[in-house]
Amino acid sequence: MSATAQGHVETPAEQQIHVAAPARRRRGHATLVIGLVLTGLVVVTALVSLVWLPYPLTDIQGGRLEAPSGAHLLGTDRLGRDLLSQLMVGARIALTVGAGAALLAGILGTAIGLTAALARPWVDDTLSATLDVVIAFPVLLLAMLVVAVQGASLGSAIFAIGLAMAAVIARLARILSRRVLQEQFVTAARTSGTRLPGIVWRHVLPNIAPTLAVALALQFGVAVLAEASLSYLGLGAPPPNASWGRMLQEAQGTVLTAPVGALAPGIAIIVLVLGVNFLTDGLREFTDPTRRRSR
């Protein structure tokens, strides 16, 4: 055991925490940096696609299944379209769907979770049971059902994926809100005459926001995979929009003769999902109060 400046004798467990904290902090910084780099690479690609593309998506003047060259850095697909241009537009669509679905899930899920936490017990029980049933269904399956009803489009994909993910956010928001509502500072606010909207705005939302932000970042990666899956099945954004999932579907028949057509979108999906996951882990290291206390 070792003694601190205040005369307190540290136990072996406390010494282990103090030794592990710097290593965990360095790992959190490294994870955050890696996530920012990988995610930033996709974001920059998407932003560039707004102002410049090597070739229009409708340009089929290139040769069929050309290998990477100076004219086409990633080659062409079976219709003669430039793969790099499709990949860049696919980054834009993936980020749009991921951000839109996460935003929709955050707004709808938080509203439902707060309603369940503040409502009467029978309303809370009903909403909780409904959320459990919805969560039991895979996100992709629910999204396919919604898109099948509304029709394939970019807006339908965002709405379907966001709606499917809202149940997960709602259950988390309910649990966090109920925990905050039991704190002493909320009781003091009620005693002082603060109305319910003020308690929610000043006390509940600020305390649940960091954890919900991390959960939404994870759901962003789920949304990207769901969008790619919908596009692969022909239920995503219709042509001429390029999607990584559609690129994979179109390249599966020529993967042996022109592997770049399948490798490029596959690697892009991996980079974005890994980047978001690393970024989420790094954010959790700085937003989780239990980890902050151990530093």
- Ordered domains of the chain (ranges, CATH): 26-55+72-293 (1.10.3720.10)
Give 222-244 pLDDT, tens digit per residue.
Answer: 999 999 999 998 888 787 788 99
Which tokens hold the place of 139? 């996100």
The DSSP symbol for 295 reads: -
Query: Using an 8 Å Cβ cutoff, are 57 and 85 in contact?
Result: yes
Which tokens hold the place of 243? 């999607």
Q: CA angle, 153 as apex, 163 and 212 as ends, to 5°?
A: 30
Res 16: pLDDT: 52
Res 282: pLDDT: 83
Res 19: pLDDT: 45
Confidence of residue 255 (pLDDT cuts 50, 70, 90): confident
Report CA dihedral (204, 209, 210, 212) to the nearest 10 degrees.
Answer: 120
The helix-helix angle for 260-287 and 83-118 (nearest 10°) equals: 30
Confidence of residue 185 (pLDDT cuts 50, 70, 90): confident
The DSSP symbol for 5 reads: T
Is 60 exceeded by the pLDDT of residue 147? Answer: yes
Determine what percent of the chain is predicted with pLDDT higher than 70.
87
Give 83-119 pLDDT, tens digit per residue.
Answer: 999 999 999 999 999 999 999 999 999 999 999 998 8
Judged on CB neighbours under 10 Å (0-12, 13-18, 19+), 187 is exposed
Q: Is the peptide bond before 240 cis (omega within 30 degrees of 0)?
A: yes
The pLDDT mean for the chain works out to 85
Integer Cα distance of 255 and 275 in angstroms = 26
Res 228: pLDDT: 92
